Structure 1
Amino acid sequence: MTDHAPQFAATALPETAPPAASRVEHGPAPFAALDLGTNNCRLLMAAPTSSGFRVVDSFSRIVRLGEGLANTGRLAEPAMERAAAALRACADKLARRQVRRLEAVATEACRRAENGPAFLARITAETGLRLRVISAREEAELAMESCAPLLEAGDRRALLFDIGGGSTEIAWIRVPADGVPELIGYVSLPLGVVTLAERAGNSCFTEHGFFEVVDEVAAYLARFDQVHRIGQEIRAGGVRLMGTSGTVTTLAGVAMALPRYRRPLVDGKTLDCEAADLALGDLFALGREGLAAHPCVGPERVEFVLPGCAVYAAIRRVWPTPRLTVADRGLREGMLTRMIRAERGGRRRAR
């Protein structure tokens, strides 16, 4: 099992604004956060506000950078070209704005790939972008920061999970009554929606194949539970289950019967876990064609939804809780929060 950590960041809810057409802008220059993952390439640009930040531009594209990585240990040429094309688009967006600071990171695929360093060097040569490969622990801490505002009075602990493309991160968090959340423990499972989709293939569309994945993931989680006694803490009360990934946001969209996915309605929503479980059953029953046609899924994500649902089902099996808080936020929001906080801290020290 590879060590990986979830990331946490405290942020205000972003609002989306149309991209600027040129460098001529009103207001302060934005911060920018770029996240190259196993499945997606995402960019977020935001201007600081009194309560957090306001999003002024964004970009997201499925690139499947980790395609085939589990079998070969290397990034495949077509996957690298897809990611490079997305990163060129990000570089073009950044060139049209006066950005005050950029943080660009790469995660699981580039951590694991033998040719990851060479690929990132190529990206720097082609685009000028310098992506930093972050550790599992930093990834966990950034996710924690981004989701911290969703905690409420009465929460003693939080269990945060992020079902990614190449891995699944679990973070176990202490929530002091009068302080900032603290990461108690974390684990990264070498199982994500891309790796599971490649390995399990069509079997996740069958009941037998689906529950084979659930059993495998649950075995990993049970070992983490033995160390931290999370189930015991859940029974004592005051533990919030939080999920941030396409899997849980899709489950929320289905449970809420949204005619199309809308982030403002989903981010921060707390669902009864029974409703999320029913949504999982609905998705499984749709089959491949039904998933492709579903407004909260679509053809690009058909292969990944049920593997992600199997990971979620394993989490529910090992850690049954009555409610699930859904977060449509992650590393980019965490990076933006850190940059804004660092700048404000520097100003206070200067004064």
Structure 2
Amino acid sequence: MVRVAAVDCGTNSIRLLIADLADGQLTELDRRMTIVRLGQGVDATGAFAQEALERVFAATEDYADVIRSRGVSRVRFVATSAARDVSNRDAFLSGVEERLGARPEIISGDEEAELSFRGATTSLELPTPYLVADIGGGSTELVLGDRDGVIAAQSLDIGSVRLTERHVTTDPTSPAELAAITRDIDALLDTTTVPLAEARALVAVAGTATTVAAVALNLPEYDRTAVHHARLTTGQLRETSTWLTTSTRAARAAVHSIHPGRVDVIGAGARILQRLVDRLPVETLTVSEHDILDGVALSLGS
């Protein structure tokens, strides 16, 4: 058995998982998430904002304290969409390494997709092949696979933060803005090399999907246990997505199951999920709390 720590820094949040790993199975000890909005303004400027870096560094310091206190033997820190093409990524890499003692890895979209697939599908019983959809702040990973592994995978540059910053200026989102978001989503889904029509089940992971599920289930507050492996019908998804994309910011903020850091971007994220489901031959989707973070932790055993 080895005690591992996985850190995933995305466009909107940074997350930590500490677990004991034995025989390819994880026993979770600590899991936490902090909204840092690392991708703030990146779509427009091509660089990390200084205040965004400071938020990431503060969260990293907190995580480093937890990792040390838990007696972790192996640590892996991965960064995804927001960190791939920015002009000042060296400041990000060195700042994290200074605080954590581990050098961040900026992983490719393909590796991100494979890690998400591995984390989401361990011990999952669904018809195959299944499609894993990881909707993040800056990108969306689509992975088709079965129990033997990945068949096809692709990372698309559509995410909740990216699309919100690019198109949304009104509250609530105007029909014209929603139409622009939808055009961007459809344009990239039209080009995907992943054969969506072959999917027999959909597994949706990460904050957009879990938040949509919490709202659809009318949870009084976010409940990870209730969300994990929840199944939503396409009708439930459509109703929830419509509300999230047309409601005011204040109305969304009043829903306690929506994390405050997701209130302003969840509409665009829900729209991505809806447009994806519209293309799939499925009647339900399964939401998983296990995702790339679990995949990163599992990778520390090899």
* TM-score normalised per structure 1: 0.80
Once the two structures are overlaid, the 10-residue window that deviates more, 196-205 or 302-311, is 196-205
Q: Residue 214 of structure 2 contacts residue 257 of structure 2 at CA under 8 Å; is this kept in 1?
A: yes
1:99 aligns with 72
Asked if residue 287 in structure 1 is aligned to residue 260 in structure 2, the reply is no
Match of 1:118 in 2: 91
Q: What do you get for the CA RMSD once the two structures are aligned?
A: 2.1
Equivalent of residue 306 in structure 1, options 264, 267, 292: 267
Q: What aligned pairs does 1:176-195 form with structure 2 within 5 A after superposition?
A: 180-195=147-162
**Cα distance change on mapping 1:156 and 1:55 into 2, 3 Å:** closer
Give the aligned partner of residue 216 of structure 2.
255
* TM superposition shift of 1:85: 0.7
Go from structure 1 to structure 2 and tell me whether the alpha carbon gap of 1:123 and 1:299 turns closer, same or farther (over 3 Å shift): closer
Change (3 A) 1:129 1:97: same
Contact 2:130/2:144, CA 8 A, preserved across alignment = yes
Equivalent residue, structure 1, for 2:139: 167
In the alignment, the residues of structure 1 paired with residue 42 and residue 62 of structure 2 have an alpha-carbon distance, to the nearest angstrom, of 24
SS of equivalent residue, structure 2 residue 70: coil
- Which position in structure 2 is the counterpart of 1:10? none
Return the letter of the residue paired with 1:198: E
Matches within 5 A, 1:22-171: 30-48=3-21, 52-149=25-122, 151-152=124-125, 155-171=127-143
Cα distance in 2 between the residues matched to 1:139 and 1:38: 13
Structure 1: unaligned runs, 5 residues or longer? 1-27, 343-351
Counterpart-to-counterpart distance in 2, 1:141 and 1:112:
20
Give unmatched runs, 5+ long, in structure 2.
none
Cα deviation code 1:267-294 (max 9, x no counterpart): 1122211112112223345321110110
Q: Is 1:242 aligned with 2:203?
A: yes
- SS of residue paired to 1:120: helix
SS at match of 1:334: helix
> Judging changes above 3 Å, is the alpha-carbon distance between structure 1 residues 168 and 229 closer, same or farther for their aligned structure 2 residues?
closer
Q: Secondary structure at the match of 1:219?
A: helix
Cα deviation for residue 78 of structure 1 reads 0.8
Paired residue total: 301
User: Aligned partners of 1:198, 1:62: CA distance in 2, in Å?
Assistant: 16
Task: Kindly provide the amino acid, as one letter, of the partner of residue 330 in structure 1.
Answer: D
Select which of 202, 217, 221 maps to 2:169.
202
Q: Distance in 1 between matches of 2:191 and 2:87?
A: 29
1:12 corresponding residue in structure 2:
none
Q: State the Cα distance separating 1:66 from its structure 2 match.
A: 1.1
Task: Give the secondary-structure state (helix, strand or coil) at the position aligned to 2:84.
Answer: helix
Which amino acid in 2 is paired with 1:230? L
**SS of aligned partner of 1:146:** helix
| Equivalent pair of 2:2/2:22 in contact (CA under 8 Å) | no
Whether the aligned pair in 2 keeps the contact of 1:91 and 1:129 (CA below 8 Å) is no
Instruction: Return closer, same or farther for 1:285/1:307 CA change in 2, 3 Å cut-off.
Output: closer
Paired residue secondary structure (1:318) = coil
Q: Distance in 1 between matches of 2:24 and 2:224?
A: 19
Distance of 1:217 and 1:271 partners within structure 2: 22
Using structure 2 for the length normalisation, give the TM-score: 0.92
Distance across 1 between alignment mates of 2:71 and 2:38: 29
Q: Is the 8 A contact 1:148 1:181 kept in 2?
A: no
Distance across 2 between alignment mates of 1:247 and 1:262: 15
Does the 8 A contact of 1:172 with 1:184 survive in 2? yes
Q: Matches of 2:259 and 2:150 in 1, distance apart?
A: 35
Choose between structure 1 and 2: higher strand proportion: 2
Q: Distance in 2 between matches of 1:259 and 1:191?
A: 30
Look at both structures and tell me which one has the larger radius of gyration over its CA atoms: 1
Question: Using the alignment, how far apart are the partners of 2:87 and 2:148 within structure 1?
Answer: 35
Structure 2 contact 143–194 (Cα < 8 Å) conserved: no
How big is the shift at 1:157? 1.1
- The Cα of 1:298 is off from its aligned counterpart by 4.1
